[in-house]
């Protein structure tokens, strides 16, 4: 509740729900509220006892329930899938000692901790034992801790094996009793969850929380790169530990002759002031689509060249998308490469759909990435949160995608509980009263159609998937030539018109057999509208659908224009609206099949599917009397010389809007548009890095399958495959000190 008062809610989440309802507040039950002001710690078992009894009843006997849908009775049974909590609470619930030398509850005594005497902390840089048996990193000494690695990681214990270890542990409750920590004793108690009949059969009983792991890893990387006081993992004590362990001699601290200051040479991860400025300016200039994340600009302090006030979701967006983009052209290539690979790992496991066949390769890749971190970053970087990354793929295999078992929805629920604590003297009573009022109101809302259900936030896109203008409505009379292009775009993309398109092309080929393909298509585009109108007019009314009839007559003279438009779960703006907004909604991508010519004289064009990137200039609704069709007029980057792929990250696309397409087809159907946003490239400001927008349409307007809705190509915001660095380049990066600048860290010595 505050720094002086700690209240612990225990929540139950219903899991067998559709994806768009699972983890929503309406289906999270407050089963216990453990009062403060002190946290219960390991005594939480005392409070959990009644809940455990209820859970055993739900499994053994079940509870009679009535199903209103089938109008029948049934016996409800339930089981606990796993617990979701941060790492300290992991220890309180499981009984494992998550501090000290063997802090990992999965590795247990298989860990090889290293004590940093000057830094005064244990570290866990033992990733090489997770590599394949004959991996070359196992034989390297200088790049790691000075020793080879012959060990092999132990297979995690099953639930039954763990229970055999702890079943005889004596459990003593009470704050007044302080047990002396015995070396080698890893378990402090037997959790009451073991009383559940099925608990021993679960492979994963307590999930590692990816939200907090991402937050800690992101803070460590950013703090170390920018040398943020209190967050950096590189300081004088760490350098002294390097000297004591006789590793990385080029980074050992150097004292001035007068002894007043100590110089820490710049490591390979140390940014110069120029690089820090470029990094912060890149993040400061990012504008994201509506609902994507918080305003990144507010997190950047250009005066201090640091990031401030980052919440958990800010770190999630940063490490999944923005960090690899902001690091382009900064730091040595091998350091930038390994940071980006770790970011792509988090991007992969946070995806909503994961291919199980790729998980083994993903695990091997992240282990190798962590080994390379060990080669470049200071030993103090490898705390327990970094170590836990090794086990995340295993939990994805056993428990499924991360987004259904991380702490974000529960942190949001905690925020609603805090808002209910209106009486500081009795916060728990205020919370209980507020929760009861909400439950009563929610129950009544089910019987009153005019009320919205509590705890199920209504999307702003409800009723707008087909398209609706939201900002800047106006009625204009556009130039006839421009409106003709928009009308032609509509005709070319509607399925009902395809037979007419094919017939017109065949007639042109028959009348002009010597006409080349390019000239034939130009003539087709120039004459099709009039031909289509006459062709439909020849037929009887009963032979033509109403849609074809109204399309042949063309749109009305005036069109409705908008500055903002919602369609397919996206919010689009024009470029003008973007310039006066804190978000960027004007970026657009469309995937289309086209005939590609290598040059004007090319006689062998190639049919291919390409992605086209542009910026929305105008948003129109063409009125065909009985229906309207929204279209976007865009400026498109030239796919020949204005779009390129990064060499190391081939999935990373860059566009240059100084090189526009000379195509005479500026319009697209709004229903075909996918949202992207652009970030200025650090290497060349004329180019923009493309990042994919996101949307949430499941559960909106009866959409239950996004693929069925529109075969949406869910391109990740960053590439999933990274080209490895050349072996000779990676092998030569054994120098841990930067040689391209001398801006190390000066430490003032205290007398």
710 pLDDT exceeds 50? no
State phi, psi for 564 to the nearest 5 degrees: -140, 145
Q: Which residue has the tokens 């919205």?
A: 452
Q: Predicted confidence band at 711 (pLDDT cuts at 50, 70, 90)?
A: very low
583 pLDDT exceeds 80? yes
The closest of 260, 272, 277, 269 to 234, measured between CA atoms, is: 269
State phi, psi for 584 to the nearest 5 degrees: -120, 105
For residue 712, the model assigns a pLDDT of: 35
The token pair at 296 is: 């990144």
How wide is the angle at C-alpha 513 spanned by C-alphas 510 and 515, nearest 5°? Answer: 125
Average pLDDT over residues 530-544: 82
* Rounded (10°) angle between helices 408-420 and 427-445: 110
- CA–CA dist 286, 297 (Å, integer): 7
Element (H, E) at 434: helix 427-445
Burial per residue of 200-231, b for 16 or more beta-carbon CB atoms within 10 angstroms, e otherwise: bebebbbbbbbbbbbbbbbbbbbbbbbbbeeb
| pTM attached to this predicted model | 0.89
Q: What is the pLDDT of residues 418-447, one digit of tens each?
A: 988 888 888 889 999 998 988 888 888 777
Q: Predicted confidence band at 725 (pLDDT cuts at 50, 70, 90)?
A: low
State phi, psi for 608 to the nearest 5 degrees: -150, 160
DSSP 233-282: S-SHHHHHHHHHTT--GGGS-EE-TTSSEEEEPPBTTPPPHHHHHHHHHH
Q: What is the pLDDT of residues 74-128, one digit of tens each?
A: 999 999 999 999 999 999 999 999 988 889 999 998 888 889 999 999 999 889 9
- CA–CA dist 81, 327 (Å, integer): 39
- CA–CA dist 91, 97 (Å, integer): 6
- CA–CA dist 329, 332 (Å, integer): 8
Q: What is the pLDDT of residues 483-517, one digit of tens each?
A: 999 999 999 988 888 889 888 888 888 888 777 77
709 pLDDT exceeds 50? no
Q: In this structure, what DSSP letter does residue 457 have?
A: P
pLDDT above 70 as % of the chain: 88
Q: Predicted confidence band at 257 (pLDDT cuts at 50, 70, 90)?
A: confident
Q: What is the pLDDT of residues 347-405, one digit of tens each?
A: 999 988 889 999 999 999 999 999 999 999 999 999 999 999 999 999 999 998 898 89
Average pLDDT over residues 232-250: 92
Sign of CA dihedral 715, 616, 279, 403: negative
Residues near 224 by Cβ (< 8 Å), separated by ≥ 6?
A: 231, 232, 233, 234, 269, 377, 378, 381
What are the CA-CA distances from residue 415 to residues 1, 9, 86, 277, 410 (Å)?
10, 12, 16, 35, 9
The closest of 611, 616, 595, 708 to 653, measured between CA atoms, is: 611
Q: In this structure, what DSSP letter does residue 158 have?
A: P
For residue 212, the model assigns a pLDDT of: 95
**Residues 638 and 613 sit within 8 Å (Cβ to Cβ):** no
Beta strands at 114-116 and 121-123: parallel, antiparallel or unpaired: antiparallel
Q: Predicted confidence band at 456 (pLDDT cuts at 50, 70, 90)?
A: low
The closest of 684, 692, 686 to 712, measured between CA atoms, is: 692
For residue 380, the model assigns a pLDDT of: 94
Residues near 235 by Cβ (< 8 Å), separated by ≥ 6?
A: 119, 264, 380, 745, 747
- CA–CA dist 667, 632 (Å, integer): 5
**Residues 666 and 633 sit within 8 Å (Cβ to Cβ):** yes
């Amino acid at each position: 509740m505050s720094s002086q008062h700690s209240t612990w809610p225990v929540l139950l989440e219903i899991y067998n729900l559709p994806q768009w309802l699972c983890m929503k507040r309406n289906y999270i039950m407050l089963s216990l509220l453990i009062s403060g002001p002190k946290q219960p710690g390991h005594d939480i078992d005392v409070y959990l006892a009644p809940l455990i009894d209820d859970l055993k009843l739900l499994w053994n006997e079940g509870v009679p329930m009535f199903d209103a849908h089938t109008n029948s009775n049934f016996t409800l049974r339930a089981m606990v899938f796993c617990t979701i909590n941060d790492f300290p609470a992991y220890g309180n619930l499981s009984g494992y000692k998550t501090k000290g030398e063997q802090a990992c509850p999965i590795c247990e005594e298989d860990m090889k901790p290293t004590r940093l005497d000057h830094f005064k902390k244990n570290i866990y840089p033992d990733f090489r034992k997770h590599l394949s048996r004959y991996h070359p990193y196992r034989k390297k000494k200088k790049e790691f801790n000075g020793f080879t690695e012959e060990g092999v990681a132990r297979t995690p214990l099953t639930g039954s094996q763990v229970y055999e270890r702890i079943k005889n542990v004596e459990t003593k409750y009470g704050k007044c009793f302080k047990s002396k920590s015995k070396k080698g004793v890893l378990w402090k108690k037997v959790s009451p969850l073991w009383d559940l009949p099925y608990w021993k059969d679960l492979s994963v009983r307590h999930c590692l929380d990816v939200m907090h792991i991402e937050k800690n890893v992101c803070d460590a990387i950013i703090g170390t790169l920018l040398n943020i006081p209190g967050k950096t993992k590189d300081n004088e004590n760490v350098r002294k530990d390097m000297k004591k362990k006789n590793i990385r001699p080029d980074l050992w601290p150097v004292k001035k002759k007068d002894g007043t200051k100590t110089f820490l040479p710049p490591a390979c991860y140390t940014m110069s002031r120029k690089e820090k400025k470029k990094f912060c300016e890149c993040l400061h200039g990012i504008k994201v689509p509506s609902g994507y994340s918080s305003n990144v600009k507010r997190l950047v302090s250009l005066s201090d060249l640091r990031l401030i006030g980052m919440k958990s979701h800010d770190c999630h967006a940063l490490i999944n998308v923005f960090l690899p983009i902001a690091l382009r052209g900064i730091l040595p290539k091998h350091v930038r490469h390994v940071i980006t690979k770790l970011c792509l790992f988090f991007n992969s496991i946070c995806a909503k759909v994961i291919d199980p066949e790729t998980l083994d390769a993903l695990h091997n890749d992240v282990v190798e990435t962590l080994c390379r971190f060990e080669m470049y970053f200071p030993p103090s970087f490898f705390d327990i949160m970094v170590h836990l990354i090794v086990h995340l793929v295993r939990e994805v295999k056993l428990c499924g995608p991360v987004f259904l078992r991380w702490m974000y929805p529960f942190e949001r629920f905690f925020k609603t509980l805090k808002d209910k604590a209106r009486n500081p003297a009795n916060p728990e009573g205020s919370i209980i009263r507020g929760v009861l009022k909400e439950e009563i109101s929610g129950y009544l809302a089910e019987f009153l159609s005019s009320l919205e259900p509590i705890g199920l936030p209504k999307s702003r896109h409800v009723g707008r998937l087909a398209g609706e203008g939201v900002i800047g409505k106006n009625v204009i009379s556009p130039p006839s030539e421009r409106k003709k292009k928009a009308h032609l775009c509509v005709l070319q993309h509607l399925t009902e018109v395809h037979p007419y398109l094919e017939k017109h092309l065949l007639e042109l080929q028959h009348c002009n057999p010597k006409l080349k393909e390019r000239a034939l298509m130009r003539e087709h585009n120039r004459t099709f509208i009039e031909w289509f109108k006459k062709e439909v007019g020849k037929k009887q009314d009963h032979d033509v659908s109403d849609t074809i009839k109204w399309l042949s007559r063309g749109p009305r003279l005036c069109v409705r224009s908008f500055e903002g438009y919602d369609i397919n779960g996206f919010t689009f703006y024009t470029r003008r609206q973007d310039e006066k907004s804190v978000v960027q909604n004007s970026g657009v991508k469309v995937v289309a099949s086209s005939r590609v010519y290598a040059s004007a004289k090319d006689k062998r064009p190639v049919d291919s599917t390409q992605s086209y990137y542009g910026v929305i200039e105008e948003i129109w609704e063409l009125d065909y009397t009985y229906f309207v069709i929204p279209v976007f007029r865009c400026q498109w980057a030239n796919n020949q010389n204005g779009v390129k792929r990064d060499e190391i990250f081939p999935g990373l696309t860059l566009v240059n809007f100084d090189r526009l397409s000379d195509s005479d087809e500026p319009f697209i159907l709004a229903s075909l548009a996918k949202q992207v946003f652009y970030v200025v490239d650090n290497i060349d400001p004329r180019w923009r890095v493309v990042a994919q927008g996101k949307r949430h349409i499941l559960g909106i307007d009866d959409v239950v399958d996004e693929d069925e809705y529109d075969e949406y190509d869910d391109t990740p915001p960053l590439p999933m495959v990274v080209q490895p660095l050349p072996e000779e380049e990676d092998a030569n990066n054994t120098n841990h000190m930067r040689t391209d600048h001398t801006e190390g860290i000066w430490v003032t010595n205290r007398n």
